[in-house]
Amino acid sequence: MLHPELSSEVAVALANGEPVVAMESTIFSNLGLPSPFNEEALRRCIVAVRAGGAVPAVTAVLDGVARLGIDESEHPRILGVARKVAERDLAVAVGQAWEFGATTVSASVALAAAAGVHVFATGGIGGVHRGAELTGDISADLDALAHQPVITVCAGAKAFLDLSRTLEYLETVGVPVLGWRHDWFPAFYTRSSGLRVAHRVEAADEVAAIFASRSRAQSGILLTAPIPEADELDASVLDGLLQQALDDCVAAGVTGAAVTPFVLARISQATAGRSIPANLALAENNARVAAEVAVAIARGARSRAS
Ligand code: PSU
Ligand code: MN
């Protein structure tokens, strides 16, 4: 199995049973957010994790080495031009010594799990794409959530996906979907997709207790935290833009792993000023919630050990 190389800060934290929050690098690379907002996102997420009392651990492949925890001196590298690395690509990125492989959700939870990190924060997860009955396009994120023992904190998934099928898929593969003080599956820029989550939770200790009670050790949990109210976008404006981005994707003949980065870039061009502040706010909020959960898990582990 592939074990990531740990930063010294993360290695010490894990050895001492201190809370750690993993993060992906795709959202901070050119595949996620445009410069200079990617740098702001990285800084705000790291500050939020630390303020919550946990150690941030960004994942990436750098010069062919899978990493968990990137020191500040190397941050410029993960803000640069990347090749996308889903879980299946990890072996290729290492075997071929890629300069910068930006990890997605699926790759990040795999690396987190290999190192014994239980909590992971991101913006939005990948999901079942609209039209998947024809294309078969279902993000590897969903099976990774089912098979890696990690709690993923996200603001749901973007509404260009088929959110209803995404929730059905998560049910099929056995991923509990929890709403953080909320009854609805969030749609990234908006607080509700109109679809209910299976269970609502009110506190980090509750999430830790649920995590400790899983029937299969090798399975994860999805914790959805809606974008803060003040940062939410108007759903009626978004719908047209999302459909246009999907139509452009089909017209350009884009398929496979390139679909999500293409659609993300189109949405960010079309909504420019409004979507980026929303994206930063929700990512920061998820990092804050993830830190709370990581602290609760570490506390639970300590009290069981004593
Ligand atoms: N959704 C977003 N922003 C992102 C992604 C998804 O709003 O940056 C990225 C994440 O890294 C996610 C990946 O894991 O896209 C999913 O890609 P795909 O649909 O190819 O599985
Ligand atoms: Mn895909």
Residue 84 annotated in active site:
no
272, pLDDT greater than 80 = no
- Give the pLDDT confidence score for residue 269 in this predicted structure: 86
Note the pLDDT tens digit of each residue in 126-151: 999 999 999 999 999 999 999 999 99
Q: Which residues line ligand 1 (CB under 6 A)?
A: 24, 26-27, 32, 86, 104-105, 123-124, 126, 139-141, 158, 188, 257, 260, 264
Q: Of 284, 16, 259, 17, which is closest to residue 160 (Cα–Cα)?
A: 259
Atom of ligand 1 nearest to the CA of 102: 11
Options 5, 72, 99, 158, the catalytic residue: 158
Look up the domain containing 194 and give its range. Answer: 5-305
Give the Cα separation of 146 and 200 in Å (integer).
19
Atom of ligand 1 nearest to the CA of 259: 20
SS3 112: helix
Distances from the Cα of 178 to the Cαs of 15, 253, 269, in angstroms? 29, 36, 32
Ligand number with the minimum distance to the CA of 262: 1
Q: How many CA atoms lie within 13 A of 254 on its CB side?
A: 17
Domains in the chain, number:
1
264, pLDDT greater than 90 = no
- Among the residue ranges 106-110, 112-116, 178-182, 265-269, the one predicted with the least confidence is 265-269
CB 254 within 8 Å of CB 246: no
Nearest-CA residue for ligand 1 atom 16 is: 126
Note the pLDDT tens digit of each residue in 11-40: 999 999 999 999 999 999 999 999 999 999
CB 22 within 8 Å of CB 120: yes
What would the mean pLDDT of 195-211 be, rounded to a whole number? Answer: 98
- Give the pLDDT confidence score for residue 292 in this predicted structure: 98
Nearest-CA residue for ligand 1 atom 18 is: 139
- Give the pLDDT confidence score for residue 237 in this predicted structure: 81
Distance from Cα 144 to the centre of ligand 2, integer Å: 13
Nearest-CA residue for ligand 1 atom 11 is: 104
Dig out the tokens for 105 from the structure: 């959700």
What's the CATH number where 193 sits?
3.40.1790.10
- Among the residue ranges 183-187, 203-207, 263-267, the one predicted with the least confidence is 263-267
Which DSSP helix (H) or strand (E) runs through 250?
helix 235-251
Q: Tell me the angle at which helices 105-115 and 140-147 cross, rounded to the nearest 10 degrees.
A: 20
Give the Cα separation of 261 and 259 in Å (integer).
6
Distance from Cα 305 to the centre of ligand 1, integer Å: 37
- Give the pLDDT confidence score for residue 89 in this predicted structure: 98
Residue 158 annotated in active site:
yes
Average pLDDT, the chain: 96
CB 65 within 8 Å of CB 303: no
As a whole-number percent, the residues of the chain with pLDDT over 90 amount to 90
SS3 26: helix
Ligand number with the minimum distance to the CA of 84: 1
- Give the pLDDT confidence score for residue 278 in this predicted structure: 95
Atom of ligand 1 nearest to the CA of 103: 11
* Global model pTM greater than 0.85: yes
Nearest-CA residue for ligand 1 atom 20 is: 257
Going by pLDDT thresholds of 50, 70 and 90, the confidence category of residue 109 is very high
Note the pLDDT tens digit of each residue in 52-80: 999 999 999 999 999 999 999 999 999 99
DSSP 144-182: HHHHS--EEEESB--TTB-HHHHHHHHHHTT--EEEET-
120, pLDDT greater than 90 = yes
Report CA torsion sign: 124, 48, 288, 233.
negative
Give the Cα separation of 69 and 15 in Å (integer).
14
DSSP conformation class of 217: S
240, pLDDT greater than 90 = no
Note the Cα 103 to chain centre separation in Å.
Answer: 10
Which residues are found with C-beta within 5 Å of the ion, ligand 2? 137
- Give the pLDDT confidence score for residue 271 in this predicted structure: 81
